[in-house]
Amino acid sequence: MCGIVGYIGNREALPILLKGLKRLEYRGYDSAGVALNNGGIKIFKCQGKVADLENHIGTQNASGSIGMGHTRWATHGVPNDINAHPHSSQKGHFTLIHNGIIENYAELKSKLQHRGYEFKSDTDTEVLVNLIEYIYLKGNITPEIAIRLALSKVEGAYGLVILCDKEPETIFAARKGSPLVIGVGDNEYFLASDATPIVEYTKSVIYLNDNDVAVIKKNELKLKNIKNDILTPKIQKLDLELGQIDKNGFDHFMLKEIYEQPKSILDTYRGRINTNSNELTLGGLYDILPKIEHARRIIIIGCGTSWHAGMVGEYLIEELARIPVEVEYASEFRYRNPILYKDDIVIAISQSGETADTLAAIKMAKEAGATVLGICNVVGSSIPRETDGGVYTHAGPEIGVASTKAFTAQVTVLTMIAILLGRRRKTVDDNLYSSLINGLLALPEKIEEVLKSNDIIKEVSSHFYEATNCLYLGRGYLFPVALEGALKLKEISYIHAEGYPAAEMKHGPIALIDEKMPVIVIATKDSSYDKVVSNIQEVKARKGIVLAIVTKGDTVIKNMADYVIEIPETPEQLSALLSVIPLQLLSYHIAIMRGCNVDQPRNLAKSVTVE
């Protein structure tokens, strides 16, 4: 949700800002802008992507060694040149970029209007920059004090970078709810929403905490909170390599990330499954395991794909560990006044670790006294810092907006948690334990095998790309896969798709089926296989077009379905991890055939830091 970058040092800022913004485009891409301070603040901004901004700047003089940049995902005001960031205050003393939402902007705006302020844009950000200026001029105080006082009046979330004409050698930054990382260089500092724009310049980073305000000169960093307490910056080593954030020869990040899954799954269980003894350990849960083991119930929260992973987690934990599990959309959970007990275990799942609704739900669960665990991908992000323990997925940076490798990594972690709990609770016997551990260890190779069907999947996609609707069906562990498959298709190809438990088809969706309706059935050989075969027959009887994902060697469904994609056999409890791969590829190819931008689908953003 909006990407922000900043630089202060001795180099030309513009190339650093533009390169950084391109890395952050996954966070939003409907307009972009930069501000440079070179004896006066100059702003360049326009609707469109960072490449459009580059064209817009063209050969104009945009030099300066202090600057900031923004790529926007619109919340207040349509994407256009005026609403693009940076925004300047009326008298031009402050210029600001913002990620987040100022919730009390309307009240603040009307107060400022009464005091003579006029607004050019429809954004909440312009309200904030004018509030800072108003407080600054009225109080005759330093810019830093004005910023802190203004922020104390603000409700909502922000990651901010601010320039002030009266302090041309300084860049200000502040965070509440929206992430901000500072890269520490040699007489230079970098700022960004995540570490990807920073990694090629320095590995020393400081993650800002909520209510932190940083006052940065090229050779000095002062960290305070908004109450003016002086804080000691905690410098951490960045565990990220430049190679991880390139496309590595793939046409799109999404495709690269689909193909990375044999490795990302291996990285998820690496060091956690001892390949000699088959013992499973999850260090981040070590102290809390006895509590989870005896939990009365577990509540899993997440949004989007992470919620789908949570559903697989529910089936896994209930089957293997026999602990009741509820799965909730974080956005519903946080507002519906749920019943929470002190002995509840809440597991928050989030790729980014920054999703606003998930973060708010965590805070609520903590206030109620529950134990909160995180399953996150981005190391050092907000959710792992808020939780009592957890497990990183270690899938590596996921840049494609449609989540792929993060999903399989989350499900891998949930599988390990379920097995571990089942082992401790003696609900998983030795045979099942070894079959699951061996199944996990064999997954990377099996995924490689599925990826070899890419050409077949591409060919099948050519029969579906003109569809206007699609139905995805699955039962048991494959029902969440149906939901995830449908979501992937909607997100990147804009084809309307629904995921359903196969048997529920009879209670509504069957009315939609005719000779134009593609039905994608995940029908691998598991305990519901026979029932799913009947569901396929019901679809065929109504002339629906069936694409079935089947277990290698299946002949029954092959004779019934219009198209089949085979995947290797795996224990039923691991079937989600394998069967989702062809669905990811199917969406990818369909989106490409429809001419869609798969890495930057319209209206979406990867990291949803606003509610």
Among positions 89, 268, 352, 535, the unique one binding ligand G6P when judged by CB under 6 A: 352
Q: Choose the stretch contacting ligand G6P; rule: CB under 6 A; options: 116-124, 346-354, 521-529, 589-597.
A: 346-354
Q: What is the dihedral of CA 88, 93, 99, 105, to 10 degrees?
A: -80
CA gap 605, 599 in Å, rounded = 10
Report if residue 379 touches ligand G6P, rule: CB under 6 A.
no
Q: Choose the stretch contacting ligand G6P; rule: CB under 6 A; options: 38-46, 265-273, 493-501, 603-611.
A: 603-611
Report if residue 393 touches ligand G6P, rule: CB under 6 A.
no
Annotation marks residue 606 as catalytic: yes
Residue 179's identity, in one-letter code, is P
Q: How far is the CB of 328 from ligand G6P (least distance, A)?
A: 13
Instruction: Decide whether 303 or 473 has the Cβ nearer to ligand G6P.
Output: 303
CA gap 139, 124 in Å, rounded = 23
Report if residue 521 touches ligand G6P, rule: CB under 6 A.
no
Q: What residues contact residue 170 under an 8 Å CB cut-off, 6+ apart?
A: 8, 143, 164, 215, 216, 217
Instruction: Decide whether 184 or 254 has the Cβ nearer to ligand G6P.
Output: 254
Residue with tokens 């320095």: 202
Instruction: Decide whether 524 or 600 has the Cβ nearer to ligand G6P.
Output: 600
Instruction: Decide whether 134 or 407 has the Cβ nearer to ligand G6P.
Output: 407
Report if residue 346 touches ligand G6P, rule: CB under 6 A.
no
Q: Choose the stretch contacting ligand G6P; rule: CB under 6 A; options: 184-192, 298-306, 362-370, 498-506.
A: 298-306
Catalytic residue among 2, 164, 376, 470: 2
Q: How far is the CB of 555 from ligand G6P (least distance, A)?
A: 36
Report if residue 268 touches ligand G6P, rule: CB under 6 A.
no
Q: How far is the CB of 302 from ligand G6P (least distance, A)?
A: 6
SS3 assignment, position 23: helix
Report if residue 358 touches ligand G6P, rule: CB under 6 A.
yes
Residue with tokens 């700022």: 191
Q: What is the DSSP string of 393-432?
A: -------SSS-SHHHHHHHHHHHHHHHHHHHHTT-S-HHH
Report if residue 90 touches ligand G6P, rule: CB under 6 A.
no
Report if residue 305 touches ligand G6P, rule: CB under 6 A.
yes
Among positions 192, 303, 325, 473, the unique one binding ligand G6P when judged by CB under 6 A: 303
Instruction: Decide whether 26 or 529 has the Cβ nearer to ligand G6P.
Output: 26
CA gap 540, 559 in Å, rounded = 11
Among positions 192, 215, 606, 610, the unique one binding ligand G6P when judged by CB under 6 A: 606
Tell me the CA end-to-end span of the chain in Å, nearest whole number. Answer: 10
Q: How far is the CB of 349 from ligand G6P (least distance, A)?
A: 7
The rounded radius of gyration (Å) of the Cα atoms in the chain is 25
Report if residue 403 touches ligand G6P, rule: CB under 6 A.
yes
Q: Choose the stretch contacting ligand G6P; rule: CB under 6 A; options: 140-148, 347-355, 443-451, 530-538.
A: 347-355
Instruction: Decide whether 479 or 563 has the Cβ nearer to ligand G6P.
Output: 479
> Nearest to residue 472, comparing CAs of 510, 493, 498, 494?
498
> Nearest to residue 220, comparing CAs of 148, 144, 166, 139?
144
Residue 69's identity, in one-letter code, is G
Report if residue 183 touches ligand G6P, rule: CB under 6 A.
no
Instruction: Decide whether 119 or 329 has the Cβ nearer to ligand G6P.
Output: 329
CA gap 581, 303 in Å, rounded = 20
Annotation marks residue 303 as catalytic: no
Task: Count how many residues are written for the chain.
Answer: 611
Catalytic residue among 22, 256, 446, 606: 606
DSSP one-letter code for 244: G
Starting at the edge strand found earlier in the chain, the sheet holding 87-88 runs 87-88, 94-99, 158-164, 171-176, 212-217, 220-225, 230-231
Report residue 14 as tokens: 């513009």
Q: What residues contact residue 410 under an 8 Å CB cut-off, 6+ apart?
A: 306, 309, 313, 349, 351, 375, 377, 393
Helix (H) or strand (E) holding 45: strand 41-47
Say how many C-beta atoms besides its own lie within 10 A of residue 512's C-beta: 15
Say how many C-beta atoms besides its own lie within 10 A of residue 21's C-beta: 27
Q: Choose the stretch contacting ligand G6P; rule: CB under 6 A; options: 176-184, 257-265, 283-291, 345-353.
A: 345-353
Instruction: Decide whether 100 or 518 has the Cβ nearer to ligand G6P.
Output: 100
Binding-site size for ligand G6P (CB under 6 A) equals: 15
Say how many C-beta atoms besides its own lie within 10 A of residue 131's C-beta: 26
Q: How far is the CB of 405 from ligand G6P (least distance, A)?
A: 11
> Nearest to residue 587, comparing CAs of 477, 474, 499, 479?
499
Among positions 90, 355, 570, 600, the unique one binding ligand G6P when judged by CB under 6 A: 355
Contact 301, 483 (CB under 8 A): no
What is the dihedral sign for C-alpha 248, 246, 416, 312?
negative
The closest residue (CB) to ligand G6P is 304
Q: Which residues pair with residue 160 across a beta bridge?
A: 98, 174
Report if residue 304 touches ligand G6P, rule: CB under 6 A.
yes
Q: How far is the CB of 258 from ligand G6P (least distance, A)?
A: 14
Instruction: Decide whether 268 or 551 has the Cβ nearer to ligand G6P.
Output: 268
Report if residue 191 touches ligand G6P, rule: CB under 6 A.
no
Among positions 350, 524, 584, 609, the unique one binding ligand G6P when judged by CB under 6 A: 350
Report if residue 306 touches ligand G6P, rule: CB under 6 A.
yes
Binding site residues, ligand G6P, CB under 6 A: 303-306, 350-352, 355, 358, 401, 403, 604, 606-608
The residues annotated as belonging to the active site are 2, 606
